[in-house]
């Protein structure tokens, strides 16, 4: 079976996308396919794969599978890329996408650079108390997916590589957790490094940027809007009333077809 695909990234957080709208869902082991295609040495290489499907409630439905084959409920980077793709397909600048975390809205600006703003809904603290793991104190935040957010004075180059898997451990979090290591630059700017459950170290994480910003705002040392610097680039996060919005550039890398 041959499937068409395209690859996009948002600040280096890259996924392989399959447009399956108006098509029967092929009988494919998608978790296994995600593991295979995400391999950066022996395949296309990515942080996972994303299926774009028919939806009864939105312009389309998004399902995403991480590089280890696990399915995620939400991915801010993938949601922005899907929103842009649908805007081109449907010739609309406002898009709604169904996800496992609920329906989300994307607003596209296609000017000199392609910028997408998505409404990620209402973030919340999973619990009110901080927890400490391996001497790192962090807050637990949910944006449809869970995050451990820890604020530090400085960020070593490989902190996510070494500390991420210690925190993202079934002994602490049976379903896994995303981890954000955060350095405050000023009240409107932070730097983060990310460990994503199911993918490991990534160049960016949209929901991670939002989780870190929300946590800092609620703790009183950040003010919206916030510029979030990540190894793959920067995004802007805004908290408007109770909803959190993520804005950043997306880019189409290439398209192709693959025999499954």
Bridge partners (DSSP) listed for residue 98? 61, 103
Q: Let me know whether 218 and 155 are in one domain.
A: yes
Catalytic position from the list 75, 81, 210, 215: 75
Name the band, by pLDDT with cuts 50, 70 and 90, for residue 10. Answer: very high
Task: Tell me the three-class secondary structure of 160-185, residue by residue.
Answer: HHHHHHHHCCCCCCCCCCEEEEEEEE
Q: Let me know whether 81 and 154 are in one domain.
A: no
The confidence score (pLDDT) of residue 167 equals 98
The confidence score (pLDDT) of residue 112 equals 79
pTM of structure: 0.95
Name the band, by pLDDT with cuts 50, 70 and 90, for residue 7. Answer: very high
The confidence score (pLDDT) of residue 100 equals 96
| Of 211, 217, 229, 204, the residue nearest 9 (C-alpha) | 204
Among the residue ranges 109-113, 127-131, 146-150, the one predicted with the least confidence is 109-113
**Residue 105 in contact with residue 119, Cβ under 8 Å?**
yes
* Contacts (Cβ under 8 Å, ≥6 apart) of 156: none
Is the predicted pLDDT of residue 121 greater than 90, yes or no?
yes
Q: Let me know whether 87 and 152 are in one domain.
A: no
* pLDDT tens sequence across 136-168: 999 999 999 999 999 999 999 999 999 999 999
Q: In the predicted model, what is the mean pLDDT of residues 67-85? A: 97
Q: Let me know whether 70 and 129 are in one domain.
A: no
Q: Let me know whether 74 and 145 are in one domain.
A: no
Domain count, the chain: 2
CATH number for the domain that contains residue 60? 3.10.310.10
Name the band, by pLDDT with cuts 50, 70 and 90, for residue 111. Answer: confident
The confidence score (pLDDT) of residue 123 equals 97
Q: Let me know whether 90 and 131 are in one domain.
A: no
Q: What are phi and psi of 51, to 5 degrees?
A: -100, 135
Q: Let me know whether 136 and 150 are in one domain.
A: yes
Q: In the predicted model, what is the mean pLDDT of residues 51-59? A: 98
Catalytic position from the list 81, 205, 210, 215: 205
| Of 244, 253, 199, the residue nearest 226 (C-alpha) | 244
Q: Let me know whether 77 and 43 are in one domain.
A: yes
Q: Tell me the percentage of the chain whose pLDDT exceeds 90.
A: 95
| Of 125, 185, 170, 169, the residue nearest 149 (C-alpha) | 125
Find the domain containing 142 and state its range.
124-241
The confidence score (pLDDT) of residue 113 equals 83
Known catalytic residue at 75? yes
Q: Tell me the percentage of the chain whose pLDDT exceeds 70.
A: 100
**Residue 67 in contact with residue 61, Cβ under 8 Å?**
no
* Contacts (Cβ under 8 Å, ≥6 apart) of 124: 141, 142
Known catalytic residue at 210? no
Q: Let me know whether 73 and 24 are in one domain.
A: yes
Is the predicted pLDDT of residue 260 greater than 90, yes or no?
no
Q: Let me know whether 52 and 137 are in one domain.
A: no
Q: Let me know whether 109 and 130 are in one domain.
A: no
Q: Let me know whether 170 and 139 are in one domain.
A: yes
Q: What is the mean pLDDT of the chain?
A: 97
């Amino acid at each position: 079976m041959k499937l068409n695909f395209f690859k996009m990234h948002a600040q280096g957080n890259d996924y392989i996308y399959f447009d399956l709208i108006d098509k029967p869902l092929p009988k494919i082991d998608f978790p296994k396919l995600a593991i295979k295609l995400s391999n950066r040495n022996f395949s296309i290489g990515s942080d996972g794969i994303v299926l774009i499907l028919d939806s009864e409630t939105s312009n389309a439905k998004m399902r995403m599978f991480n590089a280890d084959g696990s399915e995620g409920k939400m991915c801010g980077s993938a949601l922005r890329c899907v929103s842009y793709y649908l805007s081109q397909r449907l010739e609309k600048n406002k898009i709604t996408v169904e996800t496992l975390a609920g329906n989300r809205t994307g607003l596209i600006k296609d000017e000199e650079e392609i910028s997408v703003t998505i409404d990620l809904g209402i973030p919340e603290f999973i619990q009110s108390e901080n927890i400490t793991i391996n001497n790192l104190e962090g807050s637990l935040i949910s944006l449809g997916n869970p995050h451990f957010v820890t604020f530090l004075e400085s960020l070593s180059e490989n902190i996510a590589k070494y500390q991420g898997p210690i925190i993202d451990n079934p002994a602490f979090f049976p379903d896994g957790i995303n981890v954000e290591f955060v350095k405050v630059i000023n009240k409107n700017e932070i730097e983060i490094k990310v460990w994503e459950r199911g993918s490991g170290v990534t160049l960016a994480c949209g929901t991670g940027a939002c989780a870190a910003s929300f946590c800092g705002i609620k703790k009183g040392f950040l003010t919206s809007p916030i510029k979030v610097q990540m190894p793959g680039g920067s995004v802007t996060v805004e908290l408007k009333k109770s909803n959190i919005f993520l804005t950043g550039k997306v880019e189409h890398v290439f398209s192709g077809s693959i025999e499954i």
